[in-house]
Amino acid sequence: MSKVLVVDDEEKIIKLLSDKISREGHDVETSSSGKEALEIIRKSHPDIVLCDLRLGEMDGLELLRAAKKEYPQTDFIIMTAYASAKTAVTAMREGAYEYLIKPFQMEEVLLLLKRIQERQNLMAENSALRENAALKESDRKIIGSSREITNIITQIGKVAITDTPVLIHGESGTGKELAAELIHSRSARAEKPFIILNCAAIPESLMESELFGHEKGAFTDASTKKPGVFSLADSGTLFLDEIGDMPLPIQAKLLRVIENGEFLPLGSSKIIKVNVRIVAASNKNLDKLSKDGMFRMDLLFRLNVFPITIPPLRERKSDIIPIATSFLLKLGRPADEISLDVKELLLNYSWPGNARELRNVLERARILAGSEQISTSHFNLFGDKKEESHEDLLNSLLGERSLPEIEKILIEKALEKSAGNKSKASKILGITRRTLYGKLDKYKIRH
């Protein structure tokens, strides 16, 4: 219910209004003068003021003007027995919500209060939604003030307003998905869907269905009709992450959709037309893959109209502490939590896993620290002292095992370390659960 202030120089009117409004559940205060009413407004900030036009030293219009300057959100209902079109227009122009002529029906007042309360509730909800959206946007923004990041944000601002395909290059964990989200949020498609497909997490046999959808009965397990990501992203943005892992046969079909905006779902004879903006990303060298025959050159040309390269964290060390501070704030720790020793430790580490690794390391440190301040003892980093031994380890592996074999061993070790917990294993590896499941299937590792 609302806080209501009734202002009138007639005690009978004050009592009548305050009694009736109180019975409806509103919190009511009263005043018989404009000056006193202004002091009450300053102290208790009522939601609604019912104010008589003629009050003596400070009349209703003067009170309305003074209050609206300091508290524009307060709604006024002006009451008068001396009605005129001029005063009504003046009152409304000064910001009054309504103008009541005495004598009026009490039900009319109560209905007005209800209407104002509903309006104020709606405005409060809209404000909360806007704040929420702003918080979400700030949670997902690219953090950093380095020249490299500033330049990337400038590039994003320029390309976002177009429908040009964007190809984002960068190591795993550098924030390619954040850049894609920013492109979408700053585009004319911002209110439309933003759909993500991680190409590395989808088995080749399911990739076409994921992209274009399928009809019921299109293949053995197709028990229901399913839309693909192109249908889901219609009029919005489709982010194809790790596009370098897309199978060659599917790349040709993807190229046709990008060029013509139409495709055929599996098992269907009806062509579907869509309007989708494509943003792709890869942590692989697509030029090399293309030269090796692993990625279509024509598809690369079509995607790479506007390339953006996000440098690794080790190449923009000035961003490490701002990113770390942001992560700690999200974890509920104060901004001044990072001591000089911890800063030095973070700045001297090479961060092969980039921002994703930094977040995981800080989360672990926060858990170990508990209520204490985070210190260097809460970190377990492979710093410069261990760099040589790690280089020896890598040299010993090179030539002895293939990359898939090494990856399989690492996944098995992560599962062993996490006692089979997929969420923990994916965090250890610095990948998503979905990516982990894709690799479990790829290497036929028992779940």
Q: What is the CATH classification number for the domain harbouring 407?
A: 1.10.10.60
pLDDT at 433 over 50: yes
β-partners of residue 4 are 28, 48
Do 326 and 307 belong to one domain? Answer: no
Does residue 57 fall inside a structural domain?
yes
Do 154 and 66 belong to one domain? Answer: no
Q: Distance (Å, rounded) from C-alpha 312 to C-alpha 353?
A: 9
Q: Please indicate whether residue 28 or residue 443 has the higher confidence score (pLDDT).
A: 28
Do 165 and 305 belong to one domain? Answer: yes
Q: Which of 412, 401, 410, 357 is nearest to 382 (CA)?
A: 357
Q: Work out how many domains the chain is built from and give that number.
A: 4
What pLDDT band is residue 139 in, cutting at 50, 70 and 90?
Answer: very low
Mean pLDDT in the chain?
85
> In 92-143, where do the E strands start and end?
98-101
CATH of the domain at 329: 1.10.8.60
Does residue 62 fall inside a structural domain?
yes
Least-confidence region, from 97-111, 127-141, 273-287, 331-345 = 127-141
Check residue 127 and give its pLDDT.
55
Q: Distance (Å, rounded) from C-alpha 129 to C-alpha 116?
A: 20
Q: Distance (Å, rounded) from C-alpha 395 to C-alpha 399?
A: 8
pLDDT tens sequence across 73-128: 889 999 888 767 677 778 888 888 888 888 888 898 999 998 888 887 777 666 55
- Amino acid symbol at 430: G
Q: Determine if the peptide bond prior to 334 is cis (ω within 30°).
A: no
Q: In the numeric block, which tokens belong to residue 60?
A: 């209703």
Angle, CA 409 vertex, CA 403 and CA 414 arms, to 5°: 125
Check residue 387 and give its pLDDT.
42
Do 284 and 373 belong to one domain? Answer: no
pLDDT tens sequence across 55-86: 878 888 899 999 988 888 889 999 888 767 67
Q: Distance (Å, rounded) from C-alpha 233 to C-alpha 330?
A: 30
pLDDT at 398 over 70: no
Examine the fold and report which residue of 265, 290, 311 is the final residue of a domain before the chain moves on.
311
Examine the fold and report which residue of 132, 160, 175 is the final residue of a domain before the chain moves on.
132
What global pTM score does this model have? 0.56
pLDDT at 203 over 90: no
Does residue 140 fall inside a structural domain?
no
Do 230 and 329 belong to one domain? Answer: no
DSSP 8-class letter at 377: G
Q: Which of 163, 170, 193, 198 is nearest to 181 (CA)?
A: 193
Does residue 137 fall inside a structural domain?
no
Do 394 and 265 belong to one domain? Answer: no
Domain coverage including residue 261: 147-311
Do 177 and 288 belong to one domain? Answer: yes
Do 252 and 186 belong to one domain? Answer: yes
Q: Distance (Å, rounded) from C-alpha 397 to C-alpha 84?
A: 93
Q: Distance (Å, rounded) from C-alpha 79 to C-alpha 85?
A: 14
pLDDT at 341 over 70: yes
CATH of the domain at 49: 3.40.50.2300
Do 116 and 184 belong to one domain? Answer: no
pLDDT tens sequence across 156-198: 999 999 999 999 999 999 999 999 999 999 999 999 999 999 9
Do 306 and 332 belong to one domain? Answer: no
Does residue 138 fall inside a structural domain?
no
Check residue 229 and give its pLDDT.
93
Check residue 427 and give its pLDDT.
83
Q: In the numeric block, which tokens belong to residue 327?
A: 């992560």
Examine the fold and report which residue of 294, 311, 328 is the final residue of a domain before the chain moves on.
311
User: Hey, how many other C-beta atoms are within 10 angstroms of the C-beta on 232?
Assistant: 15
Q: Please indicate whether residue 270 or residue 447 has the higher confidence score (pLDDT).
A: 270
Least-confidence region, from 98-102, 311-315, 443-447 = 443-447
CATH of the domain at 200: 3.40.50.300
Does residue 142 fall inside a structural domain?
no
Do 63 and 156 belong to one domain? Answer: no
Check residue 323 and give its pLDDT.
92
Q: Please indicate whether residue 172 or residue 337 has the higher confidence score (pLDDT).
A: 172
Do 155 and 299 belong to one domain? Answer: yes
Strand 262-263 with 272-273, pairing:
antiparallel
